[in-house]
Amino acid sequence: MPQSVFFAHANGFPSATYGKLFSALAPEYGVQHLPQHGHDPRFPVNDNWANLVDELLHHLEQCDGPVWGVGHSLGGVLHYHAALLRPELYRGVVMLDSPVLTLADRIVIRAAKRFGFIDRITPAGRTLGRREEFSDLVEARRYFAGKTLFSRFDPECLDAYVQHGLQDSGENLRLRFDAATEISIYRNVPHTSPGRPQHLQVPLAMVRGRHSRVVLPHHSRLIRRMPRGEYLTLPGGHMFPLERPQDTAELLKSLFKRWAGQQPAEESA
C-alpha cells in the first residue's frame, strides 16, 4: 500500500499543475491534496494565514494516519505551521522553496503590513491588473510561455497549468485561481508563527532552488535550531518543483526513505 503524501501548492497554482511530480512519486507514494487552498468559504484568508492552516488541519484530520507533508512556497509554510500545532498528524515536512522566517524577516513583514508597502515586498503588486482572460488554450499557452516565471517550466507542467489553471467563463477562458484571493494571500503573509523552530517534533527539510530569490542562505539559520532540520538545494529557481519535477520527486523519495529508517534503493543492495 502506498505511503501517504499530502501536498500543498504555491499561491496561484492549482494542485493539478503538479501532476507530473505526483506521477513521479508513484507507486510508492500516493498524493492527496486540495484542488485550491483559500477558496473554501469556511476558511477565508486572514492575517498570518491562520484560517488556511486550519483548512489544512481540517483535511489532515480526515486522513487515515500521519502523512508526509510537502508544500511549495505558500504550501510549505502552511505545513510547517500545521506541524507545529499538530505534530501527530505528520511523519515529516518538506518545504519546497518555502522559508522559515527569521526575526528580522518578520519585523520587515509586520512593518510592511502596518505602513502599507506589503505589495512592494510580495508578488501582490505584480498580480494586480494582470491578464485574467484568454480566447483559447493556444493563446493562453503562448502568453504564459513568454513570461519569465514560466520560462523554465517543464513543458508538461506548463501544459498542466494551462489546462487546469483556466476554466470556461462564457465565451472565454478565465484564471481558475481567484485573483482577489491570490492577492489577499500575499498581503497576509505571516509575520508570526504558532511555535518556535526548536519545538518542532517531526523532521523538516527546507529545499531551496539554487537561484531562488525567495529562500535565501540566511533562512538556514533557524533550520539548524530544529532537532531534525535539514537545508538542501536543487537546481532551478523558486518554481523548481515545476521546472524539474522528476528531480524533485527523487529528492522527496530519498528523504522519506531515510527518515523512515530505510536506505535508498541504490544503497540497499
User: What is the domain count for the chain?
Assistant: 1
pLDDT in tens, 195-214: 999 999 999 999 999 999 99
pLDDT in tens, 162-175: 999 999 988 899 99
pLDDT in tens, 245-255: 999 999 999 99
Query: What CA–CA distance (Å, rounded) separates 46 from 137?
Result: 33
Low-confidence ranges of the chain (pLDDT < 70): 262-269
Which cell is 184 given?
A: 489577499
pLDDT recorded at residue 75: 98
What pTM was computed for the model? 0.95
Structural domain boundaries enclosing 108:
3-267
Rg (CA), the chain: 18
pLDDT recorded at residue 49: 98
Handedness of CA 71, 77, 78, 83 (dihedral sign): positive
Residue with cell 528523504: 255
Element counts in the chain: helices (H) and strands (E): 12, 9
pLDDT recorded at residue 262: 57
Q: Under a CB-based contact definition with an 8 Å cutoff, are residues 52 and 78 in contact?
A: yes
pLDDT recorded at residue 127: 83
Return the CATH number at 234.
Answer: 3.40.50.1820
E strand spans, 64-217: 67-72, 90-96, 133-134, 166-169, 172-175, 204-209
Query: What CA–CA distance (Å, rounded) separates 36 from 11?
Result: 9
